[in-house]
Structure 1
Amino acid sequence: MGNTTRDTIAAIATPPGSGGIGIVRISGPDAKQVLARMFLPLSSRFENFRPWFLHRGRVLDCNDEALDDVLAVFMPGPRSFTGEDVAEIHCHGGAFIVQAVLESAVRRGARQAQKGEFSRRAFINGRMDLSQAEAVAELIAAPSREALRYGLNRLDGLLARRTEALRAKLEELRMQVCVAVDFPEDEVEGMDAPTFSAAVENVSAALRHLLKGSRRARVMQQGAVVVLAGAVNAGKSSLMNALLGRNRALVTDIPGTTRDFLEEVCDLNGLPVRLTDTAGLRKATESIEELGVERSRQKLVEADAIVLVLDGGALGEAGATAEVCPEPAAREVLEMAGTTPVLVVWNKCDLCMPQKFPPSWIQNQTCCATSAFSDTQVEDMAEHLRALLLAEGDGTAGEEGLAPNVRQTLALEAALAELTALREDVDAGRSYDCCAVRLDVAAAHLAEVTGLSSPAEVLDRVFSQFCIGK
């Protein structure tokens, strides 16, 4: 990114198009002077831009003619977003007006800002670390309330604090290793191989915990793919319609009505989900149905979560007391699921709700009973599904804020791989000076999360994804 923090930059900070308010932001050493050249105060008591105070006046265009009635504010550094002197002009939000205000600022000494340059300056000036800067962009692009909540937690620095605490532990271990190398004849407390290996494993376990949140980050930013699967006539299409609140899928009493998959987007209390209704799994009697069944199996492979729908009306009480899953389709779904989380739904519970529930053949899967004709039970099923999607890999609830994005995940995985290799070296009896090298590399990878050791090209790539006004 060809920029310099010695320049004073300006950009439109509000979305393109017309609106009630438009904001032009100016940042840099000459921000106050640029503002003064283009602002004509209306108050006779105006004195040199009282900091953090909105001043009413006229903004002047490139020819010193009044352009709009505006509010202007000056925010001196370092207590500003960028850490520099910052000025903002709040004008009416017409596209021409806002562009004319920006042009006036540029002609009076500012330079047009590049993508993400304001946030990059905040990072360079120590107002936020790289993970917090990324959280700013993720907040702007948040597709759901859940993504917004996790983005705010990252902006607060929770992820950065956790990774920095782990990096500090590695630095402490490295210091102990250096002492052991420099003074091999002396006794160094706590530096025997088992204790050292246990300390490394503690950090590794914490990293694995952080990495569990990467799945949640992807689900929240991109939405989750949820596949409804099971036998024919189990009620998958009816449940999909109930979740959507409208009749999207065709429903009949004829088994095998759904021949192909149907996809629709819905909101699970702030979590975006793409529901996929699939053809019932059975031995197909014709080529068209066979193609639909194969597509169903492919969708199961791509799913973030599977809703296994059981026909409670057909299974009856005997299905709930069986030791082995009585439905071939259900057995196939559970076998194909692998590590994909599964919600087992005993559907049509209004026809038959067994005394023993859940069935004995359901072991570690989350399950619930529902009926497509009961709003309350469908809402309960939706809550079970939402909790399943936001759970950790081991099924426990996710910790607030610990949802690293793709770049952060790669850095955490690289650090974990280095520590895994380090433990293998220690167990193999390799020398401590080799251990110090791996500790250095792992600590450097953790520093990448907050940007302490990120090269310029990484910073360019991160901030180029921002909008110009941020």
Structure 2
Amino acid sequence: MLDPRLSKDTIAAIATPPGDGGVGIVRVSGSRAREIVRAMFRPARETFTDFRPYRLHYGHVTDADGTVLDDALCAFMPGPNSYTGEDVVEINCHGGRAVLGAVLQETLDHGARLAERGEFTYRAFMNGRMDLSQAEAVAEMIHAPTKAAMHLAQVKLSGLLGQKITELRSRLEALRAQLAVAVDFPEEELECLSPEQLIGTVEGVRGEIGSLLKAVDRTRAWREGALVVLAGRVNAGKSSLMNALLGRNRAIVTDQPGTTRDYLEETLNLDGLTVRLADTAGIRATEDAIEAAGLEMGRELMDRADLVLLLADGTAPVDADTLDAARRIGPEKALAVLNKADLDTFDAQNGETLKAVGLETASVSAKSGDGLDRLSARIRERVLGNAGQPDPDELAPNARQAAVLAEADRELAALAGDTAAGIPYDLLSVRLETACDVLSGITGEIAANDILNSIFDSFCIGK
């Protein structure tokens, strides 16, 4: 079946988030955009003849019977200097669902087609208004969980990542040209590229690819948020600690063990860093199938976590199950938390066995709040490591782009190895061509339809 995004239809969609709001926008793009909106727009001024570019025109949107649907401000942006590169009209009206639905339906009744997911940005990409890295940055801007993530997306939206990839490809393309000379004119006395020079240039490009890949890991917590898992024996205070960190009662807290059978997840903001806080089922032997499934989910979460808060009751010696969990998780990922510091029977020495297996420990009282600020600060430091706040101008590829860069790096590493082994230049040029083609997948010069579909299908319908 032909992808509707490949058509030249005039498309329309609600461009603002679902729900009720003060203002909503219906966006129309395509060759008939101005004609369609003009047919349903009743201007407030009698002198109005047609939409003027880049001006807001006040009036009313009406249905086919002339019944007023809503007050509206309409803006016309002619192509190619619009978001999509086509004629675009945006209808600004009240943000109620019924109002927006009625206005959108009217555009469809006049000949527009409902836009597919990401189709406005897809058209911007296809019409040369942005490269593929910029198109992906649009979605990253929309979904940015932190201000830092927003800035990182803005850098890519400005085109800097695309420019960097283009520059790296240009250096590799220059190598291809030099290899072609060496292959086509072997008998000529030409200043040809030596194997050492070839390897040096390739390694230089690999070094810059490596820097981009390091930025992926360094900024991941800012771009995606960090997963912090609460683990420990039943009644160690995991749910109480979750509630205390959130500042509200989210998890059920009782004296009965095994209250949490599944896992709970909530979002916490730690000084600008978004943390996904997950409260898991208490560690213990059980024959209850539901609780056992919850324990297995907890183990899977711990494996994926950026940090595990391993809770222990500070009023008693650490039990064997908690020590086993500490050894399994390891000191790099685990932070031991001794709870119940408000009780007279609390003894920080109970944490020595956890320190003995390499874990950092912290003492808190989930009930009184003592030590929570210190713990929150330490969670943030542990998640970020030495990365800290990202540079506002840092180029940080997303997961797809990182996979492409890693593939190109593997091809270039093999090229350097083949060069050192004395492989003929005509064979080396094949690897060089492959590396160039792989890199072009980031900017979109060469991109399969299934890749494009997977990218734009992740967008909302109105973008």
Decide: shared fold, TM above 0.5. Answer: yes
**Does 100-109 or 79-88 show the bigger shift?**
100-109
User: What letter is aligned with 1:303?
Assistant: A
Change (3 A) 1:360 1:423: farther
**Identity value in percent:** 42
Does the 8 Å CA contact 2:337/2:364 hold for their aligned counterparts? no
Q: CA deviation at 1:109?
A: 4.4
Q: CA deviation at 1:47?
A: 4.9
Structure 2 spans left out of the alignment, 5+ residues: none
In structure 2, the residue matched to 1:443 is 436
Give the whole-Å Cα distance in 1 for the aligned partners of 2:452 and 2:308.
38
**Does 457-466 or 305-314 show the bigger shift?**
305-314
In structure 2, the residue matched to 1:434 is 427
In structure 1, the residue matched to 2:64 is 62
Change (3 A) 1:303 1:457: closer
**Does 10-19 or 76-85 show the bigger shift?**
10-19
Change (3 A) 1:436 1:223: same
Q: CA deviation at 1:119?
A: 0.9
1:192 matched to 2:195? The reply is yes
Q: SS in structure 1 opposite 2:13?
A: strand
In structure 1, the residue matched to 2:130 is 128
User: What letter is aligned with 1:32?
Assistant: R
Give the whole-Å Cα distance in 1 for the aligned partners of 2:103 and 2:20.
14
In structure 2, the residue matched to 1:454 is 447
In structure 2, the residue matched to 1:321 is none
User: What letter is aligned with 2:445?
Assistant: L
For 1:405, which of 383, 398, 419 is the aligned residue?
A: 398
Q: SS in structure 2 opposite 1:93?
A: coil
Give the whole-Å Cα distance in 2 for the aligned partners of 1:233 and 1:109.
63
Q: SS in structure 1 opposite 2:4?
A: coil
Q: CA deviation at 1:76?
A: 1.9
In structure 2, the residue matched to 1:336 is 328
1:265 matched to 2:253? The reply is no
Q: CA deviation at 1:453?
A: 0.7
Does the 8 Å CA contact 2:24/2:95 hold for their aligned counterparts? yes
Structure 1 spans left out of the alignment, 5+ residues: 316-325
Change (3 A) 1:332 1:399: farther
For 1:371, which of 364, 374, 394 is the aligned residue?
A: 364
In structure 2, the residue matched to 1:424 is 417
Give the whole-Å Cα distance in 1 for the aligned partners of 2:125 and 2:442.
13
Q: CA deviation at 1:344?
A: 5.9
* TM-score normalised to structure 1 length: 0.76
1:384 matched to 2:378? The reply is yes
Give the whole-Å Cα distance in 1 for the aligned partners of 2:212 and 2:6.
35
| Superposed CA offset, 1:225-280 (max 9, x none) | 3234578998766654432335647588x9x9999785442313341313345646
Change (3 A) 1:307 1:159: farther
Change (3 A) 1:234 1:390: same
Give the whole-Å Cα distance in 2 for the aligned partners of 1:228 and 1:76.
54
Q: SS in structure 2 opposite 1:10?
A: strand
In structure 1, the residue matched to 2:212 is 210
Structural mapping, 1:144-293, within 5 Å: 147-184=149-186, 186=189, 188=191, 191-193=194-196, 195-214=197-216, 223-228=225-230, 239-246=241-248, 248=251, 263-269=264-270, 270-276=273-279, 279=282
Does the 8 Å CA contact 2:179/2:193 hold for their aligned counterparts? no
**Does 272-281 or 20-29 show the bigger shift?**
272-281
| Superposed CA offset, 1:194-246 (max 9, x none) | x4324323333333343345557775676533234578998766654432335
User: What letter is aligned with 1:441?
Assistant: T
Give the whole-Å Cα distance in 1 for the aligned partners of 2:198 and 2:110.
61
Change (3 A) 1:313 1:114: closer
How many residue pairs are counted as aligned between the two chains? 446
**Does 444-453 or 23-32 show the bigger shift?**
23-32
Q: CA deviation at 1:346?
A: 7.7
Q: SS in structure 2 opposite 1:227?
A: strand
Does the 8 Å CA contact 1:217/1:405 hold for their aligned counterparts? no
* TM-score normalised to structure 2 length: 0.77
Q: SS in structure 1 opposite 2:208?
A: helix
Give the whole-Å Cα distance in 1 for the aligned partners of 2:421 and 2:319.
50
Change (3 A) 1:228 1:97: closer
Give the whole-Å Cα distance in 1 for the aligned partners of 2:287 and 2:101.
60
